[in-house]
Amino acid sequence: MHATLTRRLAAAALAVATVITTGCASSGSSSSSSSGDVVRLKFWGDWSGEGEQQFRTMTAAFNKTHPGIQVEYVVQEDMLTKFLTASTSGQAPDVMFWDRWRTASYAPKNVLEPLDERLKKDGIPPDRFYGEAVRELTHDGKLYGLPLTVDARALFYNKAHLKEAGVEPPKTWAELEQAAVKLTKRDGGKLVRAGLSMDDAGLFSMYLAQAGGQMVTDDCSRTAFNSPQGLQTLDLWSRMIKEGVYQSGFEKGLGEGTDAFATGKVSMILTGPWNITTYKKYGKDLDFGIVPPPSGPQGGNASLMGGFGLVIPRAAKQKDASWEFIKWWTAEKDNSMLWAKTSLNIPGNVQASEDPFFSGDPFWKPILDTLKFAKTRPACAGYAPMEEEAVIPNLQLFLEGKAGAQQALTQAQQQGDRVLKDNNLN
């Protein structure tokens, strides 16, 4: 496994070196000004460390092939606050790295530049990108960015644990529950190995979708999770907790190097591709596999799609050059693949994501399969605060045994409806 990762990283490094040396397919320096002056762009993002180096690889490749446009990546802490201030003070960046779910909250503030006309003018069809990712960057019929990455949660499992317990990777809720019980180990009543990680109350929306429910009404006016499907989800959780599969706080305080799945303290976990590298790096004795999430009681398949995009602020001063940059990065397959191999993220460009680098890899292929049915969060201005302030805290009380299922759902509904209403008024 580790030899495979080393080869993949070596191949990625070679690809990066090749593109920076020879240049990528591009439109050259067509966006440089007629006077020959170099257009200099500020690209804001909140990734530092390895992420910062990955971004600098991309800006170096772009700058090499676009002498008339030079992009500088600038790390920004508390980026959104600075962005709103900069948008009104004439100091806005030219391009921003963007968590797509923010679009529903920020597009109405008139701080993002619509890109539909530019896309149409350059003959770039929206279906070049994952449809759900495009939808998440769209508000009121206008597209405000291009997808950079896509991800989806799938079921990661410890192969040795499943073999020892005599179970197959679960495909349904019933199989998930049975496997989780068999995989759990206790020593004198103390949990030493959890069959399934149940540490993330935010996964409720995915389980709910698998059961056929939804988090909010289609018009975003009210919550919709206090429903038979919501109760089905919490009943599943409740049964597994009563059967001893998990206990609240089991993974508390564990960092990357002591991650519960990587170190064998958890047998199965619903997580995303961002953890593939972590598990390979820190799971010295870990042999793991990945399958799409189990289907719900009526056979419903569902997963959460997340990911990032690139946007142009409405107050940016060099919009034409900014467009050249984000188009080059996301819409052209070769450059999307450079990004994919540099960052080990699935690109938002569908053609690039289907490259054998991903489709031929046993770790990435199940994520691609999951992306076929994964959905983004509802595009409601109040969705994120509703989930963070109302749903997750109440579900956490449920997981800790401090609230019953119906009580948790009712309290989350009452608080969540208020949050949605407040955000709809603003």
Do residues 159 and 130 share a domain? no
Do residues 88 and 236 share a domain? no
Residue 144: name the closest of 311, 308, 309 by CA.
Answer: 311
The residue among 426 and 364 whose pLDDT is bigger is 364
Q: Which of 325, 341, 371 is the last residue of a domain?
A: 371
Indicate the pLDDT class of residue 12, thresholds 50, 70 and 90: very low
> Distance (Å, rounded) from C-alpha 149 to C-alpha 226?
32
Q: Which two tokens stand for residue 400?
A: 């800790």
Q: Which two tokens stand for residue 148?
A: 């950079």
Do residues 94 and 234 share a domain? no
pLDDT exceeds cutoff 80 at 200? yes
Q: How far is CA 60 from CA 148, 159, 260, 328, in A?
A: 17, 41, 37, 13
pLDDT exceeds cutoff 80 at 104? yes
What is the per-residue pLDDT across 319-332, written as a single tens digit (0 to 9) for each?
A: 999 999 999 999 99
Strand partners, 44: 74, 96
Q: Which of 330, 347, 371 is the last residue of a domain?
A: 371
**Mean pLDDT of the 127-149 span:** 97
Total domain count for the chain? 2
Predicted local distance difference test score (pLDDT) of residue 120:
97
Identity at 317, one-letter amino acid code? K
**R_g over Cα of the chain:** 23
Do residues 355 and 408 share a domain? no
Do residues 101 and 211 share a domain? no
Do residues 116 and 21 share a domain? yes
Indicate the pLDDT class of residue 34, thresholds 50, 70 and 90: very low
Do residues 95 and 81 share a domain? yes
Indicate the pLDDT class of residue 8, thresholds 50, 70 and 90: very low
> Distance (Å, rounded) from C-alpha 419 to C-alpha 422?
5
Domain at 340, CATH number: 3.40.190.10
Do residues 230 and 320 share a domain? no
Do residues 345 and 402 share a domain? no
Query: What are the backbone angles phi and psi of residue 250, rounded to the nearest 5°?
Result: -60, -35
Domain that holds residue 183: 153-304+379-425
Indicate the pLDDT class of residue 29, thresholds 50, 70 and 90: very low
What is the per-residue pLDDT across 265-306, written as a single tens digit (0 to 9) for each?
A: 999 999 999 999 999 999 888 999 999 999 999 999 999 999
Do residues 198 and 276 share a domain? yes
Do residues 166 and 242 share a domain? yes
Eight-class DSSP state of 294: P
pLDDT exceeds cutoff 50 at 27? no
Predicted local distance difference test score (pLDDT) of residue 423:
87
- Report the mean per-residue pLDDT for the chain: 91
Do residues 320 and 384 share a domain? no
What is the per-residue pLDDT across 222-241, written as a single tens digit (0 to 9) for each?
A: 999 999 999 999 999 999 99
Q: Which of 335, 352, 371 is the last residue of a domain?
A: 371
Q: What is the percentage of the chain residues whose pLDDT exceeds 70? A: 90
**Mean pLDDT of the 173-181 span:** 98
Indicate the pLDDT class of residue 16, thresholds 50, 70 and 90: very low
